Structure 1
Amino acid sequence: MIEAAMIWNEPNNKSHWDPEIDPDWSRFAHMAKLAADAIRTINPRLSRVLGGISPIDPAFMTLMKDYGVLDHVDAVAAHGFPLDWNLWQIHEWPQKLDELRAVTDLPIWVSEVGVSSFGAEEVQLWGLKRTAELLKGTAERIQWYSLYDLPHTWEVTTRHKEAEGSSYYRHFYMGLLREDGSPKLALDEFARQTPDVGLVQWFHFEDPRLDEAVSWMKRLGVTYLRTGLSWADRFRPNALEWFDRQMKALEDFEVTITFCFTPEHRGLAPHHTSAPIVPEEFAEFCAEMTARYAPASATSIDRAGNRQPFSSSSRRPAPTIAPSHPRE
């Protein structure tokens, strides 16, 4: 069921990793290597992917290579939104991937790409078609962000405000479905692109959309899904019960699971983007989740066509006040 474990999300984006705490990314690199090794210890066959970078920056990838991070992962990933807030044009996608290929021989996943319908749904429809034309056959994995628009009542945490390209409020209009679950123009086109194009859908803690999302994804022909398990959520009451429910609901998909978000009480600063006080604790979380949802024995069974039931035994951290964390 789980095809890959992704280590963090957009580590070079200050909305996801605080560069004031870790200006040279040395803390991130150390944490990422610990996490990758912990995942491999539990399941040597599970692909490990460096969290998708945004912006696409070959200098950052070179930095990760120099730190030795790329020696500990099986693939790297990139995110791009050229019609919304990246400062490059959509037809530059092949060039952007070539810039990364110039610094690494690892497979490159486009683990998050999308177009908002903020200006017009017709723009999103065109952008989906053009993105598929440009990326199919050139990237190891293509995953569209996302199934749902964000509810307007949710907070989207960003440190960019309106400084990077287009305004960040476009983030609320990235779904193929509106907030009320009704379809947009691009929905049918997305169904024509599956299974070559997968999907990204983040679920917040005890997300009421989970079952409906699964139903939609099956109707759309989705086989590849990227979602996340939050280290911060691990300290909420009933965290494992929610994680089990989420992962059980997604068992019919090939899932890339993203491990990210620092618990406030375990960060050098009380924020989900902070480098952790003890990076080994993030690695322990990655190992725990891998053992629970992608153990080596279960992976081999899955590839033979059978499913492994979840284990209910797992070490649980001491209860704490649940930290705040981003919805997406």
Structure 2
Amino acid sequence: MIEAAKIWNEPNNKSHWDPNLDPEWDLFAQMTRLAGQAIAAENSHLPRLLGGISPIDPSFIRRLETKGVLDEIDVVAVHGFPLDWNLWAIDEWPAKIEEIRAVTDKPIWVTEVGVSSFGSEEVQAWGVKKTAELLIGRAPRIHWYSLYDLPKTWEATTRHKEAEGSSYYRHFHMGLLREDGAPKPGLEVYADYAARMGLCQWFHFEDHRLDDAVAWMKRLGVKHLRTGLSWADSFRPDADAWFDRQMEALADFEVTVTFCFTPEHRGIEPHHTSPPQVAEEFAEFCARMVRRYAPAQPTRAAVAAE
């Protein structure tokens, strides 16, 4: 059910990890090492991904390597949005991957790449095609973000919200489908690449879009999906029932699941970007999710012994 386990999301982006609380990423490094060890203890064959970095910064990878993080992960992930938030051109994608390849021998996955239709749906459609041409064959996994637009009544997961101006509102227009499920021009373009360029779709707690999303992905021929299981949501009533429903619905896809989001009551400060008070608690959440959805398969010798 799970192809890979990703530890956190965009740790070098202040919208997902608070650098004021952890300016040298020492707490992040400790948390990631413990989580990587916990995942491996449950299933040593499950690839462990470093939370996709954004911006794409080789010095950040070097920093984490000095702290022992790369000893406990198997894959480095990167995120890029050159038409929306990054200060580089879309044609630089191959060079950006090479920048990371120069500082690590780990495989490099592109677990979020996308183009907002905030300014133009036609620009997004062009961006799908251009991205596919630039990245397919250069990374073992590519995940287009995303299938659905974010509903306008929800909040984007970012620190400063409306104070970010148009950068904030671009978050709401990243989908190939509009909020009401109507296709944008980019969907038809994406269909040509769906088998080779997966999707990244976050599902909120008890997300009403889950079943429709599964139907769309099967119709498109999507094979690889990235989504998340929220540590913060795990404290909600009936959280395991929702996690079970989500993962069962996604059982026909190869899923990279992201473990992230600090519960307010377990953070050093009460917000989802805070380092946890006790890093071992996050590691145990990761281990519990792997036990539940990606348990190690018994070896032939163990089966024979039974």
- Find out whether 1:186 has 2:190 as its counterpart: no
Within 5 Å, give how 1:246-257 maps onto structure 2.
Answer: 246-257=246-257
Distance in 2 between residues matched to 1:86 and 1:221, nearest whole Å: 30
Q: What is the CA-CA distance between 1:285 and the residue it aligns to? A: 0.2
State the match for 1:279 in structure 2: 279
8 Å contact kept, 1:85–1:164: no
Q: Which residue of 2 aligns with 1:84?
A: 84
Please list the CA deviations of residues 254-299 of structure 1 after superposition, one character each: whole Å capped at 9, or x if unmatched: 000000000100000000100000000000000000000000128x
Partner amino acid for 1:267? G
Matched, 1:40 2:25: no
Which range moves more in the overlay, 155-164 or 253-262?
155-164
Asked if the contact 1:84–1:166 (Cα under 8 Å) also holds between the matched residues in 2, the reply is: no
Aligned residues: 300
- CA deviation vs aligned residue, 1:127-178 (integer Å, no higher than 9, x gap): 1100011101111210000000000001113235589896221110000000
TM-aligned CA distance change 1:96 to 1:160, over 3 Å: farther
Q: Distance in 2 between matches of 1:158 and 1:290?
A: 27
CA contact (8 A) 1:85 1:166 kept: no
Using the alignment, how far apart are the partners of 2:152 and 2:5 within structure 1? 30
**TM-score normalised by structure 1 residue count:** 0.89
Corresponding residue of 1:144: 144
| CA shift for structure 1 position 193 | 0.2
CA-CA distance at 1:253 after TM superposition: 0.3
C-alpha RMSD of matched pairs (Å): 1.6
Q: How does 1:213-228 map to 2 (within 5 A)?
A: 213-228=213-228
Q: Which residue of 2 aligns with 1:292?
A: 292
> What amino acid is aligned across from residue 211 of structure 2 in structure 1?
D
| Cα distance between partner residues in 2 of 1:27 and 1:76 | 19
Segments of 5+ residues of structure 2 without an aligned counterpart are 301-306
Match of 2:304 in 1: none
Deviations 1:13-52 (A, max 9, x none): 0000000000000000000000000000000000000010
> How far apart, in 2, do the equivalents of 1:206 and 1:166 lie?
29
For residues 1-328 of structure 1, the aligned pairs below 5 Å read: 1-159=1-159, 167-297=167-297
Query: Partner letter of residue 102 of structure 2?
Result: A
SS in 2 for 1:217: helix
User: Do 1:31 and 1:283's aligned partners in 2 also have CA atoms closer than 8 Å?
Assistant: yes
